């Protein structure tokens, strides 16, 4: 699938822009703080309904404006689709309306499937060093795009978790509420079990594909494995939640469940977070990200759009080359500060845009 056209109005520092993309590698270049990441962010919002940088929709609207519009035109296996996002400022967090082919969607989950995106930014190269929360997000972001029911289960799980936690705090003040917890426990376990089972399957798959990528990058010297470390096994969730109740009341929060899960990366059997060099950690993260693209292809029969934010300057020449080889046939939108960063490995097929102070100008005419 490819994004053929992106139009923006009043979105962050971009007053008005219209970009026609090619199916190959599209480059956005310009100095720091000009609006390059803002453009990638707008595409990501069309795919997932939310920003990868903020939970606050109002921040997406021009400081001085009241509303913002994003429009993408997509081509997927000969079919044309359009996504329109309209953001409006209000006293709270802003109001968001999304329409697919002119029809407003009712639930954000209904958006998934029209546009698949994989975003890759310098923070992703830190995936292994980052907090468990970031690693859960990495898994969830992809699973949510691929599985509408996972998106629903995860959302419900966190909703019930919040309700259980607020009840725990109430019990601290009034113990008579204690008997009402079991209702939440059952729901928490039902949604939680499905989240755990899906994560388990997905991590097995990503481990296999990322392992192949990692082996290629390292010339067969390193065997990468990605292992799920669930906080609690699916079948034990209900019992554990009930067992921990007294403790949970004291702390006012739920101690067992997939909200505490983690994944670990091992190379040749040892934990990369603990023993790996910086280069190994980055290579493992790169392999995991590239595996995401393959999984989307496998599961949906179409390539996602790859958004590469500033990562090229962070990779050495060999890894850059591997990345470009791996994304052959995948539409990419790439940001960089200097075109020379990527000149060595760039075939020249695609659009090049110069971004300055929120203005976007085609620098080289689209070739493909
Ligand atoms: N809501 C907003 N309204 C207007 N301008 C905004 C808004 N949010 C962010 N900006 C501006 O957007 C600019 C940052 O844009 P962006 O993050 O896309 O930069 P960039 O070109 O990717 O830079 P870098 O190369 O440093 O990553 C900043 O100047 C910031 O002040
Ligand atoms: Mg940026």
pTM for the model stands at 0.91
pLDDT in tens, 235-264: 999 999 999 999 999 999 999 999 999 999
For the chain, the maximum distance between any two Cα atoms, rounded to a whole number of angstroms, is 71
Please provide residue 121's backbone torsions phi and psi, each rounded to the nearest 5 degrees.
Answer: -125, 170
Residues with CB under 6 A from ligand 1: 12-13, 30, 32-38, 59, 61-63, 310, 335, 337
Ligand 2 centroid from CA 6, angstroms:
18
pLDDT of residue 368: 42
pLDDT in tens, 34-85: 999 999 999 999 999 999 999 999 999 999 999 999 999 999 999 999 999 9
Nearest CA to ligand 1 atom 19: 33
pLDDT of residue 347: 58
What is the C-alpha to C-alpha distance for residues 148 and 295, in angstroms, rounded to an integer?
16
- Which range is least confidently modeled, 104-118, 188-202, 251-265, 311-325? 311-325
Name the nearest CA neighbour of 319 among 350, 289, 339, 297: 289
What is the C-alpha to C-alpha distance for residues 234 and 238, in angstroms, rounded to an integer?
8
Residue 197 token pair: 């089972």
pLDDT bucket at 367, cuts 50 / 70 / 90: very low
CB-facing half-sphere around the CA of 216: CA atoms within 13 A: 17
Ligand 1 centroid from CA 126, angstroms:
22
Q: Would the pLDDT of 345 be above 90?
A: no
What is the C-alpha to C-alpha distance for residues 16 and 55, in angstroms, rounded to an integer?
23
> Pocket of ligand 1, candidates 10, 15, 33: which has the most ligand atoms within 8 Å of its Cβ, to mutate?
33
Q: Would the pLDDT of 176 be above 50?
A: yes
Name the nearest CA neighbour of 8 among 33, 45, 58, 48: 45
Residue 13 token pair: 């520092």
Q: Which domains are assigned to the chain?
A: 1-116+302-368 (3.40.50.300), 123-300 (1.20.1050.90)
What is the C-alpha to C-alpha distance for residues 344 and 358, in angstroms, rounded to an integer?
27
């Amino acid at each position: 699938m490819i994004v053929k056209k992106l139009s923006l109005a009043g979105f962050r520092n971009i007053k008005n822009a219209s970009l026609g993309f090619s199916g190959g590698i599209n480059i956005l270049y310009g100095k720091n703080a000009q609006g390059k990441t803002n453009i990638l962010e707008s595409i990501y919002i069309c795919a997932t309904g939310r920003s990868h940088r903020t939970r606050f929709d109002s921040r997406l609207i021009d400081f001085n404006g009241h509303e913002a519009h994003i429009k993408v035109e997509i081509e997927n296996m000969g079919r044309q689709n359009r996504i329109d996002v309209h953001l409006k400022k209000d006293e709270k967090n802003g109001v968001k309306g999304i329409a697919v082919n002119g029809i407003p969607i009712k639930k954000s989950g209904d958006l998934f499937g029209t546009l698949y995106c994989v975003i890759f930014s310098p923070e992703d190269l830190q995936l292994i060093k980052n907090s468990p929360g970031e690693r859960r997000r990495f898994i969830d972001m992809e699973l949510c795009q691929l599985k509408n029911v996972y998106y629903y289960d995860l959302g419900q799980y966190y909703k019930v978790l919040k309700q259980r936690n607020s009840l725990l705090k109430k019990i601290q003040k009034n113990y008579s509420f204690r008997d009402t917890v079991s209702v939440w426990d059952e729901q928490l376990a039902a949604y939680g079990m499905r989240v755990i089972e899906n994560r388990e399957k997905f991590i097995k798959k990503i481990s296999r594909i990322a392992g192949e990528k990692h082996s290629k990058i390292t010339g067969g010297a390193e065997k990468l494995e990605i292992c799920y470390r669930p906080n609690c096994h699916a079948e034990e969730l209900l019992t554990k939640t009930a067992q921990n109740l007294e403790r949970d009341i004291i702390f006012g929060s739920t101690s067992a469940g997939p909200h505490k899960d983690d994944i670990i990366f091992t190379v040749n059997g040892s934990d990369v977070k603990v023993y790996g060099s910086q280069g190994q950690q980055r290579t493992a993260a790169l392999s995991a990200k590239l595996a995401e693209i393959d999984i989307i292809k496998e599961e949906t029969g179409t390539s996602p759009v790859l958004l590469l934010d500033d990562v090229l300057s962070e990779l050495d020449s060999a890894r850059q080359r591997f990345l470009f080889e791996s994304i052959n046939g995948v539409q990419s939108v790439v940001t960089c500060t200097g075109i020379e960063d990527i000149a060595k490995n760039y075939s020249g097929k695609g659009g090049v845009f110069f971004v300055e102070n929120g203005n976007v100008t085609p620098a080289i005419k689209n070739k493909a």
